[in-house]
Each structure stands twice: as C-alpha cells, then as structure tokens.
Structure 1
C-alpha cells in the first residue's frame, strides 16, 4: 500500500509530504484546488512521461518519491527478474532535471520506465471515469471471470505451455523453411558433393604431383646431368674417385711423420667415403631415370582436375576444397534427414498441445462454473447502486484456437433496462452506468483477488442521494481487503473515510501553491458541512455533517 508521497517542485506544488494509512482515505477540495496535480505527481513517480512543464521552478529539479509497503504482494520473484533489491518498504523516486532529462529509481537503483510501469501495475490501480472503457476490453473481462473462477494457477500453467508451444511451432516453421530452401539446392549440392567425393582429394596431393610432373617434364636434362656427373666421378683418368684414391695414397705414406699429416689424411679418407656414397646414389638415380609418357599424362590430368575444381569453387588449395566438401556433405545430409527431424518436432508439438488442451479444458470448466456467481454478484451490486434492471449475459464459447489465456472466446453482454436487448457494454451503457459497473467489478475483484492499492478519481460523478451512500458503502467494504483512496465531491462518501485529506490552494508572496493536509475531526466536520451547503456553512449543515461522520 502507499505509505507516503513526497513532492518537490512539481506544477503548483512547492514542497509537500503526506502519510497514508490502510483502510479508506478520502481526498476532497474545491474545483481547481489541485486534485489532478496530486494524481499527476503520483502518475509521474509510477512511470508516466514527463517534460519541463512539470517543473514549478525550471531552475531546480523536480523530485517525486513514493514509499510503498509491498510485503503482501509476493513480488520477490519480479524483483529478481528485473535485477532489483527487494525491500518490504520500497521507495520509488522520479527526478526531472532542469535540462528536461528524467531519471527513475527503485530502492536507489536506476530503472527504465518500462520496468516502472510493470511494477506500477502490481502496486497501484488509478481508476478514473475515462478508464471505464476498459470494461469493453476482452482481456479485462476474462480477468474478472478468472478471478472468481480461481484460475490463477491454471492460467499460469497454461501460459508456460503456451509459450513452449509457440516456441516449438516457431522452430518447426524454421525447419520447414530451411528444408524448402535446401530442397531447391539439393540436386545441385548433391552433384557438387559427388563430384568432390569421386575426386578423392588429399590435402598434400597437389604439391607432390606438381613436383613429380616438374621432374618428368625435365627428364632429359636430369638424365644428361646425372650421366655427366657419374662420368666426372668414375672416369679412370680424371674421375673424382681416382683422384681421391691417389690423394689418399700420397698422404697415407707420410701420415706417420706428423700428427698434422695424420689429420689431413683422415679428412681425405672421410671425403673419399662421402664421395663413394654419392657416386653410389648417382648410379642408382641414373638407373631409375625412366621417362614414362603415360605417367606424365596421368599426373597432368589429375592436376588439371584439381585446378578445375578449385576454380569452380573459388579456392586456391585442396585444403579449402575439403572444407567445401564437408559443407556440402552437411547440406545433403540435412535434406535427407530433414523429414525425420520435422516429424520429431511435430510429435513434440502434438505432445505439448495435448497437455495444453487438458489445462484449457479445466480453465474453461471453471469459467463456466463461475459465470452464475459473477452475474449474480454484479447484478446485486448494481441493484444497490440504482440499476435494478441491470442484467448480464456472459457466455463462454470453446474454440480450437490457442489464445494467451486459454481456448475460449468470451461474450460479455449487458442490458440496463427491463426487457431491453443485450449488447456490448460500450454501446448500451451510459458513462454513469459504466462508472457504477466498474465500481461493482472492482468490488468483486477485491473480494476474490489481492488487488493493489486502488485510487478512485471522482468515480461518483453524476450520482447523488441513496446511490452515493451505496457507493460509499462499497468503497468502505473494499477497504477492508485493500487500501482505497477516493477523490470525491460527495459528502456521503467523504464521511465514510478512515482518514480525510484536503487539497487547497494558497497564495504566498504573490505565488499560488497547492497543498494537501490531513484533517482533524473538527476540520472534517467543517469540510463536510461546506460540501453540503457551500462556503456559508449553516448550523443544519454542521449537524448533518456530524450525523454523517457518526
């Protein structure tokens, strides 16, 4: 409930702080005194849009702060979801800077207006005459019926399944779209896949083939140079081997005369061994050199195939071709297995739909069971409010479609006159009738749900006499379950309040300001007497005021 409202530098309010309590609180004041300003400030702190026109003094910032007791609203999970610190006494603060920038805080943590508005819907319901059009909103009508049907947990369960169903349907749609797109490319992708598969590409193959082809293309030069190298190595007269043999013999003969000669002789021997090995390899290489035109042609064809595939797929290596091959493999396999995946997804959808149908049937059954009770309570309340012939025709029509709150369509019709035809509320009910219907609805809701604080903004406009007494009685009954704040111009309603506040204007140093104060018992008598007889208060008005308060 709202415990305190503090306002600084807003509209005609310079500085104001007022405490509220449980039960029924009444706010009165002359026309133009600033009751709408008070509601404007409350709306601002609860998330309404703001601009510089809200500032009384544009050189200073405007601050509106509301302290609310929220321990009875089970909001811990919501605070966790929006990453806010939960406090049993939560403080919401809104600031408008002279620059026009607006900031909002919940327990000193900055929040967006969307979070603030979401929190607002759970804490305070500000009801004015123009909001009676909400009665024609199907979702609001369902909320009334579901409150009496005690459908809260069933609808919460249904919504979880509904979200799951929508997600599965979205996934199925995406799979089917992917399949359509993949099917369009399937034949071409399959052709490309098989082409690469038949090519049996190896990562290092190209480099090896290019080296072998280069060798085959230069086979004559290789053969000539190998032969000449062998000739230089093994020629009996000037060959390297014979020369090294002679050199080795010469140094061997003098090796014993000096350590130096021994080392040189050893080195020559090492060189001779190395040369002998080289000559042996040259002989083998020379013997193996054999030009095979078929081999060259085969290698050339293989390389040309690889080059063509690389060009076709806009890559420069076999490694990149293999990556494309893997991608094509996945695309082909995806199409070939898509039907199984889609069928599995459809089975999941059928399973969730079956469970959802069961919950929807329970919701629908509870709604049908609650209709007689809702109709009876609303008609009884409206009869007390001077609408003895008011009748409701409420019908539930099951459908095959899934909606966010079940599978029902709701027909919520009204007739204000005896023998009159039923019609939509907005078409057959007047403004005054809509106000009384909304009050009756709120009364029913307050008895069946944990409504937040409710503020009635002159909902009693256009009524008087005994009806005003009934309106006051209903508000009083509602205040036993919740905090009710009523802005009224009727003394019968004002007298029912546990607390009474007056909005008034005063002029200080030529500047008009709006203030709000809580009235004492004597001040309430005067205020109610003034509401009865005007500024010139008569003794009978005072007596009547006392009677109303008693």
Structure 2
C-alpha cells in the first residue's frame, strides 16, 4: 500500500507531502481544483511518460516520490530478478529535469520506465472514469474470468510455449522458402561439385603435368640431345671430361710455383667435379626417359580437363579450383542439411502444439468452471446496486486458433431488465450501469487478487441516492482487504471513508496553487454538507452530513 506521496514543482503544486493510511480514503474537491493533478503525479511514479509541461517552474526540476509498504505482497522475487535492492518500505522516485530528461529510481537504484511499469502492476490499479468502457473489451473480460479461474500460471506457461511456437513457425517458413528457391541452384551446384570431385584435382599438379607433358611429347629430341651431350662429355680422346683431366694435370705441375697457378688448379678441379655431377644427372635422365604414348595421352586429357574447368570457373590455377570445390561442398552440404532442419523443426512444432493444446484445454475448462461463479457474484452485488433483474450470458467457446491467452473466444452479454434481450455491454449498458458493473467486477476481483491499492476515479458517474450509498458500502467492504481510494462528488460515498482528503485551489497574486489536505472531523462535516447543499451550508445540510458520517 502507498503510505506517503511527496510532490515538488508539478503542475499547480509547488510543494506537497501527504501521508496515507490503510482502509478507505476519500478525495473530494471542486471541479478543476486539482484532483487529476494528484492522479497525474501518481501516474508518473508508476511509469507514465512525462514532458516539460509537467513542470510548474520550468527552470527547476520536478520531483515526485512515493513510499510503499510491500512486506505482505511477496515482491522480493521481482526485485531479485531485476537486480534491485528489496526494502519492506520501498521508495519510488521520479525526476523531470528542465532539459526534458526524465529519471526514475527504485530504492535509489536507477531504473527504466518499463521496470517501473512492471513493478507498478503489482502495487496500484488506478481506475479512471473513461476506463469503464474497457470492460466491454474481450481482453479485459478474459482477464476477469482468468483471475477467478486462477489461470495466471497456466497462461504464463502457454505464452512461453506460444512464443516458441511462433518462432519455430517463422524459422520453418524461412527454411521452406529457402528450400524452394534453392532447388534448381542445388541441382546445378551438385553437378558442378560432382564434376570437380571427378577431376580428382591435387594442389599444384598442373605444373607437374605440364612438365611431364613436355617431356613425353618431345622424348626423341630430349633423348638425342642427352645422348649427344654424354658423348661429347665422355669421348676418350676429345671428350670434355678427358680434356678437363688434361688441363688439371698440366696445372698440377705448376701449382707449387705460384699461388696464382694453385688457384687456377682449384677452380678447374671444381669445374671437373661439377661437370662430373652433370654427366651423372644426364645419365639418370637418360635412364628415366621412356617413350610412353599412352601416358602422354592421359596427361594430355587431364590437362585439357583442368583447362576446361579453369575456363568454366574463370580461374587460372588448380588451387583456385580446389577452393571452389570446397565451397561447393559446404553449400551442397548446407542445402542437404536443410531437409534435416525442416524435419526437426516440424517435430518441434508438433511437440509444442501438443503442449499448447493441453494447456489451452486446461485454461478453457477452468474458465468454463469460473463463469457461473463470476455471474453469481456479480448478480449478487448488482442487486444491492439497484439492478435486481440483471443477467449475464457468458459463453466461452474453444477454437482452433492460438490467441495470446489461449484458444478460446468469448461472448460476454448482458441484460439489465426482465423481458429485454441480451446484448453487448457497450451497446446496451448505460453509463450508470457500466459504473456499477465495473465496481461489482472490482469487488469480486478484490477477493482473488493480492493488489495492495485500488483507486476509483469518479466511478460513481451516473448514479446517486441509495445506489451511491450502496456503492460506498461495497468500497468500504473492499477496504477490509486492500487500500481503497475513491475520488468522488457524492456525499453518500464520501461519508463512508476512514480518511477524507480535500483538493483545493487558491490564487496568490499571479500564481495559482493546488493543495491536498487531510480533513479533521469538523472539517469533514462541513465538506460533506457543502457537497449536499453547495457553498452556503445550512443547518439541515450539516445535520444530514453528521447523519451520513454516523
């Protein structure tokens, strides 16, 4: 419950601090006195957006601070989940800076508006007059039924599954579209890959093949040249080796005479060794040289295949072809895995569907069981509010569509009088009837929810007299289990409160100020008397006010 509210530099309020108690609190005041300002300030604390028009003095910041006693409402898990410090007496502060920026704090920890709004959901329900029409919305009607049916946890689980279901359906549709679009591409890629795999390419093999091709294609010329080179090198009388030995022997005779000749001997010896190695290599080459026409054809075919593939894929090396093959393997494998992914997603969707159907059936049955309980309780309350012949026809039907809160459709019909047909609330209920129905709904829900505080903003619109008195009694009874505020113009309701606040407006010079004041017993008598008779208070009005209060 809210225990105090502090407002500084907001709208017509310069500075205000007010304490609240448990039970039933009344707020009254003339039209335009500033009751909406109090609600507006409280709305900011609960996470509504703000702008610079909220500031009374545009050069100073606006600060709104509310203290909540929350020890009885099991909110520690929320604080833990949002990494906030939990306090039994929790302070929520909202600041609006002259620059237009807004800041929010929970127990001095900065938070964003979404976190503030999520916490406020567990703290206060502000029911404004225009919100009565929300009762005719299917979403709100389901929330009422589900509260009585204790469907909260089932719907949370259902919504988690539904989120996964929708996510998997999106993934599946994406994969199916990709599969359809890539069918022809897959066929072509597979053809290209098979072609490259069949080629059995090896890194850098093109250079080896081209070299082998040149050797085999010119084997006769090569053999002739090697044989001639060996003959020239090894001829006994005039061969190069014979002549080098002769030169070496001649220089050996004079090498000791001068370092110059010794150096020349060393060089000729090196040449002789090198040339000997050359002849050895020539002999080896001659031995390996084979005239193999079949091998030549095979090498030629392989090279032609490589050149054809290079032209097709617009590359110049075998290594690039191998890279293309690897990429195609990944692409074909990925598209091949597409079918497996689709099969797995379909299985997942089927499993989720089974779970969704099971949960939605449970939600449906609990709703069906809750409908007569809700109708009975509403009728009992509305009979005391001057609607003795009221009837409800609430029809819940299971469908095949997955909605956000289950698979049900809802028809919530109403009849206020005997002999009249059932109709939709928004079409057949008057403003006064809607106010009474909403109060009855809130009174029923008060027994099922653990909401600390409920604020009624002129829910008494369109009613008066004994009906107003009954509405006040219902709100007073509700306040036994929760903190109730009622902003009202009716003395019958105002007299039921355990505390009475008055909003007033005054003009000081060029400035207009609003203030909220807790009335004493005597001030309260006068306020209710004025609500009965107007500004001029008569003795009969005072006596009537005292009678109402008693």
Q: Could you tell me the TM-score, scaled by structure 1's length?
A: 0.88
Give the structure 1 partner of residue 138 of structure 2.
138
Q: Secondary structure at the match of 2:44?
A: helix
Whether the 8 Å contact between 2:435 and 2:462 is mirrored in structure 1 is: no
Note the 1:186-225 alignment, pairs <5 A.
Answer: 186-213=186-213
Shift in Å, 1:14: 1.0
Greater shift in the superposed pair: 427-436 or 295-304 = 295-304
1:98 alignment partner in structure 2: 98
Give CA deviations for 1:374-400 in whole Å, capped at 9, x if unaligned.
Answer: 101101111111111211001111122
Cα contact 1:395–1:412 (8 A) shared by 2: yes
Number of residue equivalences: 550
Q: Which residue of 2 aligns with 1:39?
A: 39
Kindly provide the CA deviation profile for residues 340-381 of structure 1, in whole angstroms up to 9, marking residues without a partner as x.
553443333333322332222222222111111110110111
Q: Which residue of 2 aligns with 1:121?
A: 121
Pick which of 65-74 and 179-188 moved more.
65-74
The question of 1:504 aligning with 2:497 is answered no
CA distance in 2, matches of 1:62, 1:222: 100
Within-5 A mapping of 1:147-166: 147-166=147-166
Alignment match, 2:346? 346
1:54-133 correspondence runs (5 A): 54-79=54-79, 82=82, 84-133=84-133
> Residues 32-55 of structure 1: CA distance to partner in whole angstroms, max 9, x if unpaired?
111111112222232333222222
Partner of 1:457: 457
C-alpha deviations, 1:280-306, integer Å up to 9, x for none?
112322454567676566545433433
| Cα deviation code 1:57-112 (max 9, x no counterpart) | 11222222233334444444544555544444433333332233333333444444
What residue is the counterpart of 1:467 in the other structure? 467
Query: Does the C-alpha gap of structure 1 residues 275 and 401 become closer, same or farther in structure 2, counting only changes over 3 Å?
Result: same
Structure 1 CA distance for aligned equivalents of residues 38 and 314 of structure 2: 72
Distance in 2 of aligned mates of 1:100 and 1:479:
38
Structure 2: gaps spanning 5 or more residues: none
User: Take 1:316 and 1:471, find their aligned partners in 2: how far apart are those partners?
Assistant: 91
> What residue number does 1:523 align with?
523
Q: 1:502 to 1:313 in 2, by over 3 A?
A: farther
- Mean alpha-carbon deviation: is it higher for 382-391 or for 67-76? 67-76
Pair 1:320–1:387, CA change in 2 (3 A)? farther
Q: Which residue pairs with 2:281 in the alignment?
A: 281
1:524-539 equivalences under 5 Å are 524-539=524-539
Compared CA separation, residues 138 and 321, structure 1 to 2 (3 A): farther
Distance 1:531 1:90 in 2: 36
Alignment check: 8 A CA contact 1:394 1:411 kept: yes
Q: Give the aligned partner of residue 448 of structure 2.
A: 448
Q: 1:313 to 1:103 in 2, by over 3 A?
A: farther
Shift of 1:339: 4.8
After superposition, the Cα gap between the structure-2 partners of 1:324 and 1:261, relative to the gap in structure 1 and judged at 3 Å, is closer
Comparing 154-163 with 419-428, which one deviates more in the overlay?
Answer: 154-163
Range moving further from structure 2, 402-411 or 518-527 = 518-527
After superposing the two structures, state which structure 1 stretch, 441-450 or 358-367, moved more: 358-367
Go from structure 1 to structure 2 and tell me whether the alpha carbon gap of 1:410 and 1:268 turns closer, same or farther (over 3 Å shift): same
| CA spacing shift, 1:519–1:207, aligned 2, 3 Å | farther
Q: Which moved more, 1:102-111 or 1:496-505?
A: 102-111
Structure 1 residues 502 and 333, CA gap change in structure 2 (3 angstroms): same
Could you tell which deviates more after superposition, 527-536 or 423-432?
527-536
Q: Note if 1:418 corresponds to 2:446.
A: no
- Cα distance change, pair 500–247 in 1 and its aligned pair in 2 (3 A): farther
Deviation, structure 1 residue 453: 2.1
- Aligned partner of residue 477 in structure 2, secondary structure: helix
Q: Report the more deviating stretch, 178-187 or 335-344.
A: 335-344
For 1:173, what is the secondary structure of its paired residue?
helix
Partner of 1:180: 180
Is structure 2 residue 168 aligned with structure 1 residue 168? Answer: yes
Secondary structure of the residue that 1:501 maps to in structure 2?
strand
SS of equivalent residue, structure 1 residue 440 = helix
In 2, are the aligned partners of 1:158 and 1:406 still within 8 Å (CA)?
yes
What CA distance in whole angstroms lies between the structure 2 residues aligned with 1:19 and 1:390? 40
User: In structure 2, do the counterparts of structure 1 residues 488 and 207 end up closer, same or farther at CA, with 3 Å as the change threshold?
Assistant: farther
Instruction: Tell me which residue corresponds to 1:368.
Output: 368
SS of the residue corresponding to residue 447 of structure 2 reads helix
Change (3 A) 1:246 1:58: same
Of 220-229 and 354-363, more deviation after overlay is shown by 220-229
More displaced, 183-192 or 390-399? 183-192
Distance change >3 Å, CA 327–CA 251, structure 1 → 2: closer
Coordinate RMSD, CA, aligned: 3.3
Residues 51/161 of structure 1: CA separation in 2 closer, same or farther (3 Å cut): closer
